[in-house]
Structure 1
Protein backbone atom coordinates (compact mmCIF):
# COMPACT_ATOMS: atom_id res chain seq x y z
CA UNK A 1 0.00 0.00 0.00
CA UNK A 2 1.52 3.31 -1.12
CA UNK A 3 0.50 6.19 1.17
CA UNK A 4 0.93 9.84 0.23
CA UNK A 5 0.00 13.05 2.01
CA UNK A 6 -0.74 15.74 -0.54
CA UNK A 7 -1.14 19.35 0.54
CA UNK A 8 -4.61 20.57 -0.36
CA UNK A 9 -4.53 23.59 -2.65
CA UNK A 10 -7.14 25.80 -4.29
CA UNK A 11 -7.35 23.32 -7.16
CA UNK A 12 -8.43 20.63 -4.63
CA UNK A 13 -11.20 22.78 -3.12
CA UNK A 14 -14.03 20.73 -4.67
CA UNK A 15 -12.49 17.51 -3.35
CA UNK A 16 -12.19 18.88 0.18
CA UNK A 17 -15.72 20.33 0.12
CA UNK A 18 -17.16 17.02 -1.08
CA UNK A 19 -15.27 14.97 1.49
CA UNK A 20 -16.17 17.44 4.23
CA UNK A 21 -19.88 16.66 3.76
CA UNK A 22 -19.20 12.95 4.37
CA UNK A 23 -17.23 13.96 7.47
CA UNK A 24 -20.10 16.12 8.78
CA UNK A 25 -22.55 13.29 8.15
CA UNK A 26 -20.49 10.93 10.31
CA UNK A 27 -19.79 13.57 12.95
CA UNK A 28 -23.52 14.27 13.32
CA UNK A 29 -23.84 11.11 15.42
CA UNK A 30 -21.83 12.98 18.07
CA UNK A 31 -22.52 16.66 17.31
CA UNK A 32 -26.30 16.08 17.20
CA UNK A 33 -26.58 18.46 14.24
CA UNK A 34 -29.50 18.24 11.84
CA UNK A 35 -29.48 18.65 8.09
CA UNK A 36 -30.73 21.86 6.52
CA UNK A 37 -34.06 22.14 4.68
CA UNK A 38 -32.09 21.21 1.55
CA UNK A 39 -31.04 17.90 3.14
CA UNK A 40 -27.39 18.88 3.62
CA UNK A 41 -25.21 19.49 6.63
CA UNK A 42 -24.24 23.14 6.81
CA UNK A 43 -20.48 23.25 6.40
CA UNK A 44 -18.42 26.05 7.82
CA UNK A 45 -16.30 28.02 5.39
CA UNK A 46 -13.31 25.73 4.91
CA UNK A 47 -11.73 27.81 2.14
CA UNK A 48 -9.10 29.27 4.52
CA UNK A 49 -7.53 25.80 4.64
CA UNK A 50 -6.30 26.18 1.09
CA UNK A 51 -5.71 29.95 1.23
CA UNK A 52 -3.95 30.56 4.57
CA UNK A 53 -0.39 29.26 5.01
CA UNK A 54 -0.95 29.00 8.81
CA UNK A 55 -3.31 26.10 8.12
CA UNK A 56 -2.06 22.70 7.02
CA UNK A 57 -4.57 20.61 5.05
CA UNK A 58 -3.58 17.25 3.61
CA UNK A 59 -5.38 14.75 1.42
CA UNK A 60 -4.58 11.20 2.45
CA UNK A 61 -3.94 9.19 -0.70
CA UNK A 62 -3.59 5.40 -0.93
CA UNK A 63 -2.31 3.95 -4.19
CA UNK A 64 -3.20 7.28 -5.88
CA UNK A 65 -6.81 7.14 -4.61
CA UNK A 66 -8.38 9.57 -2.16
CA UNK A 67 -8.68 7.94 1.27
CA UNK A 68 -9.46 10.98 3.45
CA UNK A 69 -8.01 14.16 4.88
CA UNK A 70 -6.34 15.64 7.94
CA UNK A 71 -6.62 19.34 8.78
CA UNK A 72 -4.20 21.07 11.14
CA UNK A 73 -4.31 24.63 12.47
CA UNK A 74 -1.70 26.92 14.03
CA UNK A 75 -1.85 30.44 15.56
CA UNK A 76 -4.05 32.46 15.45
CA UNK A 77 -6.49 29.56 14.97
CA UNK A 78 -5.48 27.77 18.19
CA UNK A 79 -5.60 28.44 21.94
CA UNK A 80 -2.87 30.66 23.43
CA UNK A 81 0.25 28.62 24.17
CA UNK A 82 -0.62 26.01 21.54
CA UNK A 83 1.32 25.64 18.29
CA UNK A 84 -0.87 23.12 16.46
CA UNK A 85 -4.27 21.49 16.64
CA UNK A 86 -5.47 18.55 14.60
CA UNK A 87 -8.94 19.85 13.84
CA UNK A 88 -10.25 17.04 11.68
CA UNK A 89 -9.10 13.57 10.70
CA UNK A 90 -11.36 11.70 8.32
CA UNK A 91 -10.95 8.41 6.48
CA UNK A 92 -13.43 6.92 4.06
CA UNK A 93 -14.87 3.69 5.52
CA UNK A 94 -13.01 1.27 3.23
CA UNK A 95 -9.68 2.68 4.45
CA UNK A 96 -10.34 2.39 8.18
CA UNK A 97 -8.62 -0.14 10.39
CA UNK A 98 -5.52 -0.21 8.20
CA UNK A 99 -3.31 2.16 10.21
CA UNK A 100 -3.90 5.20 7.97
CA UNK A 101 -5.06 7.38 10.87
CA UNK A 102 -1.83 6.54 12.67
CA UNK A 103 0.18 7.25 9.52
CA UNK A 104 -1.56 10.61 9.07
CA UNK A 105 -0.90 11.63 12.69
CA UNK A 106 2.75 10.58 12.41
CA UNK A 107 3.09 12.58 9.21
CA UNK A 108 1.79 15.65 11.01
CA UNK A 109 3.99 15.09 14.05
CA UNK A 110 7.07 14.60 11.88
CA UNK A 111 6.54 17.91 10.06
CA UNK A 112 5.07 20.08 12.80
CA UNK A 113 6.81 20.08 16.18
CA UNK A 114 5.44 21.98 19.15
CA UNK A 115 2.61 22.15 21.68
CA UNK A 116 -0.51 20.32 20.49
CA UNK A 117 -4.15 20.39 21.41
CA UNK A 118 -6.67 17.88 20.09
CA UNK A 119 -10.33 18.10 21.09
CA UNK A 120 -13.02 15.54 20.42
CA UNK A 121 -16.52 14.66 21.52
CA UNK A 122 -16.36 12.41 24.58
CA UNK A 123 -19.28 10.45 23.19
CA UNK A 124 -17.13 9.52 20.16
CA UNK A 125 -15.40 6.45 21.61
CA UNK A 126 -13.45 5.70 18.42
CA UNK A 127 -11.80 9.14 18.43
CA UNK A 128 -11.07 9.06 22.17
CA UNK A 129 -9.61 5.55 21.91
CA UNK A 130 -7.62 6.35 18.76
CA UNK A 131 -5.85 9.45 20.12
CA UNK A 132 -5.29 7.98 23.59
CA UNK A 133 -3.88 4.72 22.20
CA UNK A 134 -1.72 6.52 19.64
CA UNK A 135 -0.11 8.83 22.18
CA UNK A 136 0.36 5.97 24.63
CA UNK A 137 2.02 3.81 21.96
CA UNK A 138 4.42 6.68 21.23
CA UNK A 139 5.12 7.17 24.97
CA UNK A 140 3.84 10.75 24.81
CA UNK A 141 2.34 12.10 28.01
CA UNK A 142 -0.82 14.08 27.45
CA UNK A 143 -2.79 16.24 29.81
CA UNK A 144 -6.50 15.60 29.47
CA UNK A 145 -9.30 18.06 30.17
CA UNK A 146 -13.05 17.55 30.06
CA UNK A 147 -15.24 20.36 28.78
CA UNK A 148 -18.59 21.24 27.26
CA UNK A 149 -19.37 22.66 23.83
CA UNK A 150 -22.72 24.12 22.85
CA UNK A 151 -23.99 23.17 19.38
CA UNK A 152 -27.47 24.49 18.69
CA UNK A 153 -29.51 23.56 21.77
CA UNK A 154 -27.20 20.69 22.72
CA UNK A 155 -24.52 20.86 25.40
CA UNK A 156 -22.02 18.16 24.51
CA UNK A 157 -19.09 16.84 26.55
CA UNK A 158 -15.62 17.14 25.03
CA UNK A 159 -12.20 15.78 25.84
CA UNK A 160 -9.08 17.77 25.03
CA UNK A 161 -5.59 16.30 24.96
CA UNK A 162 -2.55 18.58 25.25
CA UNK A 163 0.97 17.33 24.60
CA UNK A 164 4.32 18.26 23.11
CA UNK A 165 5.92 16.88 19.97
CA UNK A 166 9.66 17.44 19.55
CA UNK A 167 12.66 15.59 18.17
CA UNK A 168 13.52 14.57 21.72
CA UNK A 169 10.03 13.45 22.74
CA UNK A 170 9.24 11.55 19.58
CA UNK A 171 11.22 8.84 17.89
CA UNK A 172 9.35 8.25 14.68
CA UNK A 173 9.83 5.03 12.77
CA UNK A 174 11.62 5.43 9.47
CA UNK A 175 8.86 3.37 7.85
CA UNK A 176 5.25 3.69 8.94
CA UNK A 177 3.61 0.31 9.48
CA UNK A 178 0.04 0.56 8.22
CA UNK A 179 -0.93 -2.91 9.37
CA UNK A 180 -1.47 -1.61 12.90
CA UNK A 181 -5.14 -1.40 13.90
CA UNK A 182 -5.14 2.33 14.72
Structure 2
Protein backbone atom coordinates (compact mmCIF):
# COMPACT_ATOMS: atom_id res chain seq x y z
CA UNK A 1 0.00 0.00 0.00
CA UNK A 2 1.33 3.40 -0.96
CA UNK A 3 1.60 6.08 1.69
CA UNK A 4 -1.41 8.32 1.44
CA UNK A 5 -3.70 5.82 -0.31
CA UNK A 6 -7.22 6.36 1.05
CA UNK A 7 -8.63 4.03 3.68
CA UNK A 8 -12.21 3.50 4.82
CA UNK A 9 -14.01 2.17 7.85
CA UNK A 10 -16.45 -0.71 7.37
CA UNK A 11 -18.85 -1.44 10.23
CA UNK A 12 -18.08 -4.87 11.69
CA UNK A 13 -21.43 -6.60 11.84
CA UNK A 14 -22.41 -10.11 12.81
CA UNK A 15 -20.89 -11.53 9.60
CA UNK A 16 -17.50 -10.06 10.64
CA UNK A 17 -17.63 -11.25 14.27
CA UNK A 18 -15.10 -14.10 13.91
CA UNK A 19 -12.71 -11.98 11.86
CA UNK A 20 -12.86 -9.16 14.42
CA UNK A 21 -12.31 -11.64 17.27
CA UNK A 22 -9.16 -13.01 15.56
CA UNK A 23 -7.84 -9.50 14.93
CA UNK A 24 -8.55 -8.53 18.53
CA UNK A 25 -6.72 -11.62 19.82
CA UNK A 26 -3.70 -10.74 17.67
CA UNK A 27 -3.77 -7.17 18.99
CA UNK A 28 -4.05 -8.32 22.61
CA UNK A 29 -1.14 -10.71 22.01
CA UNK A 30 0.99 -7.83 20.68
CA UNK A 31 0.10 -5.67 23.68
CA UNK A 32 0.80 -8.46 26.17
CA UNK A 33 4.52 -7.79 25.84
CA UNK A 34 4.07 -4.41 27.52
CA UNK A 35 0.82 -4.61 29.50
CA UNK A 36 1.35 -7.96 31.24
CA UNK A 37 -1.96 -9.43 30.05
CA UNK A 38 -1.90 -13.24 30.13
CA UNK A 39 -3.63 -15.87 28.01
CA UNK A 40 -6.28 -18.03 29.64
CA UNK A 41 -6.20 -21.84 29.70
CA UNK A 42 -7.79 -21.94 26.24
CA UNK A 43 -4.93 -19.96 24.71
CA UNK A 44 -7.02 -16.81 24.36
CA UNK A 45 -6.90 -13.37 25.91
CA UNK A 46 -10.03 -12.55 27.90
CA UNK A 47 -12.03 -9.61 26.59
CA UNK A 48 -15.35 -9.57 28.45
CA UNK A 49 -16.84 -6.70 26.40
CA UNK A 50 -16.44 -8.30 22.97
CA UNK A 51 -20.04 -9.49 22.52
CA UNK A 52 -21.33 -6.09 23.63
CA UNK A 53 -19.91 -4.56 20.43
CA UNK A 54 -22.61 -6.46 18.54
CA UNK A 55 -25.53 -5.77 20.87
CA UNK A 56 -25.11 -2.60 22.97
CA UNK A 57 -25.72 0.93 21.78
CA UNK A 58 -22.67 3.15 22.22
CA UNK A 59 -20.20 0.48 21.09
CA UNK A 60 -18.96 0.24 17.51
CA UNK A 61 -16.44 -1.99 15.82
CA UNK A 62 -14.89 -1.06 12.49
CA UNK A 63 -12.72 -2.91 10.01
CA UNK A 64 -10.10 -0.71 8.40
CA UNK A 65 -9.84 -1.39 4.66
CA UNK A 66 -8.28 0.21 1.62
CA UNK A 67 -10.58 1.42 -1.15
CA UNK A 68 -10.19 -1.95 -2.88
CA UNK A 69 -11.48 -3.77 0.20
CA UNK A 70 -8.15 -5.14 1.48
CA UNK A 71 -8.15 -5.63 5.25
CA UNK A 72 -5.71 -3.28 7.00
CA UNK A 73 -6.78 -3.42 10.66
CA UNK A 74 -9.63 -2.60 13.03
CA UNK A 75 -10.92 -0.05 15.52
CA UNK A 76 -13.32 -0.42 18.45
CA UNK A 77 -15.02 2.71 19.79
CA UNK A 78 -17.23 3.12 22.84
CA UNK A 79 -18.77 5.82 25.03
CA UNK A 80 -16.84 4.98 28.21
CA UNK A 81 -14.76 8.02 29.10
CA UNK A 82 -12.94 8.83 32.33
CA UNK A 83 -12.12 12.54 32.09
CA UNK A 84 -15.39 13.99 30.72
CA UNK A 85 -19.07 13.58 31.52
CA UNK A 86 -19.68 12.00 28.13
CA UNK A 87 -17.89 11.38 24.88
CA UNK A 88 -16.20 8.62 22.92
CA UNK A 89 -13.11 6.53 23.41
CA UNK A 90 -10.90 4.40 21.21
CA UNK A 91 -11.12 1.11 23.10
CA UNK A 92 -8.97 -0.93 20.71
CA UNK A 93 -7.08 0.00 17.58
CA UNK A 94 -4.67 -1.95 15.42
CA UNK A 95 -3.17 -1.67 11.96
CA UNK A 96 -1.77 -4.92 10.60
CA UNK A 97 2.05 -4.91 10.70
CA UNK A 98 2.56 -4.80 6.92
CA UNK A 99 0.60 -1.55 6.69
CA UNK A 100 2.10 0.38 9.59
CA UNK A 101 4.04 3.61 9.08
CA UNK A 102 2.20 4.21 5.80
CA UNK A 103 -0.47 6.63 6.99
CA UNK A 104 -3.16 3.97 7.47
CA UNK A 105 -3.45 4.40 11.23
CA UNK A 106 -3.59 8.19 11.04
CA UNK A 107 -6.31 8.12 8.38
CA UNK A 108 -8.35 5.50 10.24
CA UNK A 109 -8.08 7.39 13.54
CA UNK A 110 -9.24 10.62 11.89
CA UNK A 111 -12.20 8.80 10.35
CA UNK A 112 -13.16 7.54 13.82
CA UNK A 113 -12.89 11.04 15.32
CA UNK A 114 -15.03 12.51 12.55
CA UNK A 115 -17.82 9.98 13.12
CA UNK A 116 -18.62 11.48 16.52
CA UNK A 117 -18.19 15.15 17.35
CA UNK A 118 -17.50 15.99 20.98
CA UNK A 119 -15.16 14.82 23.70
CA UNK A 120 -12.75 12.01 22.93
CA UNK A 121 -10.31 9.98 24.99
CA UNK A 122 -7.55 7.67 23.85
CA UNK A 123 -5.52 5.50 26.24
CA UNK A 124 -2.50 4.05 24.42
CA UNK A 125 -1.50 0.48 25.26
CA UNK A 126 0.09 0.49 28.70
CA UNK A 127 3.87 0.58 28.51
CA UNK A 128 3.99 1.06 24.74
CA UNK A 129 6.08 4.10 23.90
CA UNK A 130 5.37 3.60 20.18
CA UNK A 131 1.61 3.62 20.74
CA UNK A 132 1.86 6.74 22.90
CA UNK A 133 3.99 8.51 20.29
CA UNK A 134 1.59 7.51 17.50
CA UNK A 135 -1.47 8.82 19.33
CA UNK A 136 0.26 12.02 20.44
CA UNK A 137 1.26 12.74 16.84
CA UNK A 138 -2.21 12.00 15.43
CA UNK A 139 -4.11 13.91 18.11
CA UNK A 140 -1.74 16.89 18.14
CA UNK A 141 -2.02 17.27 14.39
CA UNK A 142 -5.80 16.76 14.43
CA UNK A 143 -6.42 19.31 17.20
CA UNK A 144 -3.68 21.79 16.38
CA UNK A 145 -2.06 20.94 19.71
CA UNK A 146 -5.24 21.41 21.76
CA UNK A 147 -5.35 18.30 23.92
CA UNK A 148 -4.51 17.14 27.41
CA UNK A 149 -2.52 14.12 28.48
CA UNK A 150 -2.77 12.90 32.05
CA UNK A 151 -2.93 9.53 33.77
CA UNK A 152 -2.11 7.84 30.45
CA UNK A 153 -5.16 9.32 28.70
CA UNK A 154 -5.26 11.78 25.79
CA UNK A 155 -8.36 14.03 26.05
CA UNK A 156 -9.51 16.32 23.25
CA UNK A 157 -12.51 17.63 21.34
CA UNK A 158 -13.56 16.65 17.84
CA UNK A 159 -15.63 19.24 16.06
CA UNK A 160 -15.83 21.96 13.49
CA UNK A 161 -13.73 24.87 14.65
CA UNK A 162 -12.72 23.07 17.83
CA UNK A 163 -15.10 25.24 19.90
CA UNK A 164 -15.57 23.14 22.99
CA UNK A 165 -14.92 22.91 26.68
CA UNK A 166 -11.27 22.16 25.95
CA UNK A 167 -10.46 25.69 24.75
CA UNK A 168 -6.93 26.63 25.45
CA UNK A 169 -5.71 23.11 26.03
CA UNK A 170 -2.23 22.44 24.87
CA UNK A 171 -0.27 19.31 24.25
CA UNK A 172 2.36 18.12 26.61
Taking structure 2 as the reference length, the TM-score comes to 0.82
Q: Does 1:34 align with 2:34?
A: no
Q: Where does structure 1 lack aligned partners over 5 or more consecutive residues?
A: 147-158, 171-182
Cα gap change, 1:108 to 1:140, in 2 (>3 Å): farther
Residue 164 (structure 1) shift:
0.9
Match of 1:162 in 2: 155
**Counterparts of 1:144 and 1:78 in 2: how far apart (Å)?**
14
Q: Where does structure 2 lack aligned partners over 5 or more consecutive residues?
A: 164-172
**Counterparts of 1:43 and 1:83 in 2: how far apart (Å)?**
22
Question: Which of residues 119, 122, 126 in structure 2 aligns to 1:118?
Answer: 122
Residue 42 (structure 1) shift:
2.6
Taking structure 1 as the reference length, the TM-score comes to 0.78
Secondary structure (helix, strand or coil) at the match of 1:120 reads: coil
Q: Which structure has greater helix proportion?
A: 2
Q: Which structure has greater strand proportion?
A: 1
Count of residue pairs brought into register by the alignment: 156
Secondary structure (helix, strand or coil) at the match of 1:86 reads: strand
Q: Does 1:78 align with 2:81?
A: yes
**Counterparts of 2:126 and 2:36 in 1: how far apart (Å)?**
13
